[in-house]
Structure 1
Amino acid sequence: MTALVAVAHGSRDPRSAAVVHQLLDVVRALAPSLDVRGSFLDLSVPLLGDVLRGVHADGHRSAVVVPLLLGKAFHARVDVPGAVADTRLPGFDVSIADVLGPDPRLESAALRRLASVGIRSRDRTLGVVLAGAGSSHAPANALVSSIAARWAAGSGWAGVEPAFAATAQPDVPTAVARLRARGARRIAVASWFLAPGFLPDRVTRLAGDAIIAPPLGPDPEVAELILHRYHSALAPLAASA
């Protein structure tokens, strides 16, 4: 069977890798016959190239790399294909699946995380910040902004504003100020991050006394999405076999 090799960005914060591994444990529980392995692009181990070499050494003839990335920014467009290209092995086919976002299952997971800290819809006193990493690639930022707009239209909250931890605008204090100007008396922050780390911590620091939802983490729908991306990438391999 073709192995599933998930690849996350990586972080010096050990909590990040721990949450990624917890998420992959959920994937394994959903697909117990599938060889599921975790890897990282940088800062954490094992690195993607090392895991691909291990999959090959264990006798697999093919693998699907599933980027645990929420949008098609630099890491998805450059780093992942580069790492795969640097690990060419004889008789070993590697396909790269699509990134996780956009997908309604991610939004559902983010809303569940908000609910886990007591946030409910139809509260006109509440403003929500949807906080993501931020990218120099505008479409990646636009994805977060479009989700915030969709939530604002249907949530019954005082407003929903996108915000970014780095690179892009608006930043978190600006988003909070906009919500306050609309009459929000309380602020909650929804996390558009897969796992904890430096940037989510920065969001928390900048958000002041806001209620902070945890990252998406080992959510069952996120695990289902990983398997969906795997099977979608696997279909062309099966057709050519």
Structure 2
Amino acid sequence: MTPLIAVAHGSRDPRSAATIHGLLDVVRALRPELDVRAAFLDLSEPLLGDVLDAVRDDGHRDAVVLPLLLGRAFHARVDVPAAVTDAQRRHPDLRVRVGDVLGPDPRLDEAAWRRLLEAGADPSDPDLGVLLAGAGSSHAPANRLVDEVAARWQSRTSWAGAVATFAAAASPDVPAALELLRDRGARRIAVGSWFLAPGLLPDRIIELARGNADSPLIAGPMANDPGVADLILHRYELAMTQDRLPIAV
């Protein structure tokens, strides 16, 4: 079968790559006949270009590259296409389909929601304010996706508020988001995770939340939710039906 190369951002934090590998083990368990390979854009190994070289060396002439990215920000619009283009210059006989990013998709919303409930957040608590923490991007549509998820959460709960907050490159940051929630009457705080894996940016959010709120509830990242593995396989199957899925919007 056409190999699935799942490419994540990469991180200096070894927990991040380990989590991605664990997620792909779930994908393999769901589809044991499928050749599933991990790759990274930076900071972790193996890099995407090296994995594409290995796929070609193993005799394959087709591959699907699937970005394990939550939105169409810089890495999806620039880094992934650049790495694929470089590999195809080296291997003109290698046909690479590029799958779409993971978000937006209801399965991500539900994965983040389940992590938050597991952390102890009560949807019926009118005194609870919820931060939905994302990485942040200079690409406004990527940030808007996180805002929209927080708004959907607010609409289905009795919370004082639910707002997005970002680790970098976008606002509001954690202190500003907490001020918004307190202005709406929040007396207790929970932090939802719009991250696939642990790492430096999620840790930054957690540190700021704990430094600016009393004993906030902290949700884990989404990668260990079975819905994410199902979404990866859905994106793979969709990519297989097309010559190449555009990443840029």
Fold match (TM-score > 0.5): yes
**Partner residue in 1 for 2:136:** 134
Shift of 1:52: 0.8
**Partner residue in 2 for 1:99:** 101
Return the match for 1:230 from 218, 231, 236.
236
Moved more, 147-156 or 64-73: 147-156
Is 1:10 equivalent to 2:10 in the alignment? yes
Moved more, 33-42 or 143-152: 143-152
Q: Is the 8 A contact 1:66 1:229 kept in 2?
A: yes
> Counterpart of 2:131 in 1: which secondary structure?
strand
Equivalent residue runs for 1:27-38 within 5 Å: 27-38=27-38
% identical aligned pairs: 65
Cα distance in 2 for partners of 1:153, 1:116 equals 20
Task: List, as ranges, runs of 4+ consecutive aligned residues in structure 1 with deviation greater than 3 Å.
Answer: none
> Counterpart of 1:206 in 2: which secondary structure?
helix
Cα distance in 2 for partners of 1:106, 1:5 equals 20
Cα distance in 2 for partners of 1:107, 1:170 equals 20
What's the TM-score once normalised by structure 2's chain length? 0.93
**Partner residue in 2 for 1:52:** 52
Which amino acid is the alignment partner of residue 118 of structure 2? S
Q: Is the 8 A contact 1:133 1:193 kept in 2?
A: yes
**Partner residue in 2 for 1:174:** 176
Cα distance in 1 for partners of 2:121, 2:148 equals 21
Cα distance in 1 for partners of 2:175, 2:106 equals 27
> Counterpart of 2:49 in 1: which secondary structure?
helix
Q: Is the 8 A contact 1:161 1:179 kept in 2?
A: yes
Q: Is the 8 A contact 1:71 1:140 kept in 2?
A: yes
Which amino acid is the alignment partner of residue 116 of structure 1? E
> Counterpart of 1:207 in 2: which secondary structure?
helix
Which amino acid is the alignment partner of residue 8 of structure 1? A
The aligned length equals 238
Shift of 1:237: 4.5
> Counterpart of 2:176 in 1: which secondary structure?
helix
**Partner residue in 1 for 2:75:** 75
Q: Is the 8 A contact 1:10 1:40 kept in 2?
A: yes
Is 1:210 equivalent to 2:216 in the alignment? yes
Cα distance in 1 for partners of 2:174, 2:192 equals 11
Cα distance in 1 for partners of 2:174, 2:68 equals 24
Deviations 1:74-118 (A, max 9, x none): 000000000000101132100110000000000110011111111
- Unaligned runs of at least 5 residues, structure 2: 245-249
> Counterpart of 1:146 in 2: which secondary structure?
helix
Q: Is the 8 A contact 1:72 1:99 kept in 2?
A: yes
Cα distance in 2 for partners of 1:55, 1:237 equals 18
> Counterpart of 1:49 in 2: which secondary structure?
helix
Shift of 1:178: 1.1
Shift of 1:120: 2.4
What's the TM-score once normalised by structure 1's chain length? 0.96
Which amino acid is the alignment partner of residue 61 of structure 2? R
> Counterpart of 1:86 in 2: which secondary structure?
helix
> Counterpart of 2:76 in 1: which secondary structure?
helix
Cα distance in 2 for partners of 1:204, 1:26 equals 27
Give the RMSD, CA atoms, in angstroms: 1.1
Is 1:43 equivalent to 2:43 in the alignment? yes
Which amino acid is the alignment partner of residue 184 of structure 2? R
Cα distance in 2 for partners of 1:173, 1:136 equals 20
Cα distance in 2 for partners of 1:156, 1:230 equals 37
Cα distance in 2 for partners of 1:120, 1:111 equals 11
Q: Is the 8 A contact 1:53 1:87 kept in 2?
A: yes
Which amino acid is the alignment partner of residue 221 of structure 2? P
Cα distance in 2 for partners of 1:10, 1:136 equals 19
- Unaligned runs of at least 5 residues, structure 1: none
Which amino acid is the alignment partner of residue 217 of structure 1? A
